[in-house]
Amino acid sequence: MTVELNTLVREAYEHVFPMPPVAGAVSDVRRRAGAALAAWKVSPEIVEDALLVVSELLTNAIVHALPPAVLRLSWIRDAGFGTLHIEVTDAGPARTAGQAPEGIDPDEHGRGEEIVHALATRHGIRVRPGGFTRWADLVAV
């Protein structure tokens, strides 16, 4: 009698990207995130969506929150599926509720949350003393 064991290989990767509060930081961190996703061989069908979610969450942190902002990416591949967890943690709101950021045209901003909701399988916000973490999961088959 032969017994065959099926072994499932689980791969997990994580990378943390601190975001300096300077012009061009979002595009720089997005570029570095893209390089990490390529190195991890993340499924091409979610890379473009993932980079858009990264950009939206980081931009939200720069426009609406106090520094520092930190991007954390986690890629878990298990049983043929892959889950990319994206989170951006900041130091909390830069303004009181209802106070609009100066120099921001409301016609050109305010759709980031809708974009994240449309692209992510799951998403949410964790509130902690001293800041917020906005997160999104993208799942690849």
Assess contact for 42 and 10: CB atoms under 8 A.
no
- What are the residue ranges spanned by the domains of the chain? 10-93+123-140
pTM, whole model, 2 decimals? 0.82
Architecture of 10-93+123-140 per CATH?
2-Layer Sandwich (3.30)
Query: What is the per-residue pLDDT across 75-120, written as a single tens digit (0 to 9) for each?
Result: 998 877 899 999 999 999 887 655 555 555 554 556 788 999 999 9
Instruction: Enumerate the β-bridge partners of residue 86.
Output: 73, 136
What single-letter amino acid sits at 11? Answer: E
